[in-house]
């Protein structure tokens, strides 16, 4: 199927690449179908299939934050029909800034994907020590922070 994307224009997409978000994403509850498009070596675009303008830069938090972890409650695991830890991919939404060194990641609300069944949901815990805006790159005068 052909779709129009925010960053890459018209693209041919295989239906098997679509990730379904049954509840949509917070603020975008009507958007249920997305794809991940590679964007450089460590980023990807979470692109809505149905609305070109809805696209989010994402990355794996584990590439930038050594001590990051997500402990999903049982009800969340059941909602995504996760059968094995190997079925799970964790992505965080990146807020790209100028200069890029000021860009941040939303570690508090990761996007969790059941890669086997292609089902996703943003996990928003009641309490979290993680920030909504954690710098991807440490300031030049500070060591890398492992959240």
pLDDT digits (tens, 9 = 90+) for 124-134: 999 999 999 99
The answer to whether residue 127 sits within a structural domain is yes
Report the domain count for the chain: 1
The answer to whether residue 144 sits within a structural domain is no
Contacts with 132 (C-beta within 8 Å, 6 or more apart), sequence order: 104, 106, 107, 108, 109
Do 143 and 137 form a contact (C-beta atoms < 8 A)? Answer: no
Q: What is the pTM of this model?
A: 0.90
pLDDT digits (tens, 9 = 90+) for 13-48: 999 999 999 999 999 999 999 999 999 999 999 999
Domain of residue 42: give its range. Answer: 2-135
């Amino acid at each position: 199927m052909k779709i129009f994307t925010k960053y890459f224009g018209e693209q041919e997409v295989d239906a098997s690449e679509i990730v379904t978000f049954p509840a949509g994403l917070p603020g975008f509850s009507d958007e249920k179908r997305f794809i991940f498009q590679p964007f450089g070596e460590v980023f990807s675009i979470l692109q809505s299939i149905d609305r070109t303008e809805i696209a989010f830069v994402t990355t794996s938090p584990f590439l930038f934050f050594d001590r990051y972890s997500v402990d999903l409650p049982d009800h969340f695991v059941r909602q995504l029909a996760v059968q094995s830890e190997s079925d799970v991919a964790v992505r965080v939404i990146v807020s790209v800034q100028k200069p890029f060194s000021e860009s941040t990641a939303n570690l508090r609300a990761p996007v969790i994907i059941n890669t086997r069944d292609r089902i996703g949901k943003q996990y928003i815990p009641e309490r979290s020590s993680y920030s909504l805006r954690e710098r991807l790159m440490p300031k030049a005068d500070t060591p890398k922070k492992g959240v």
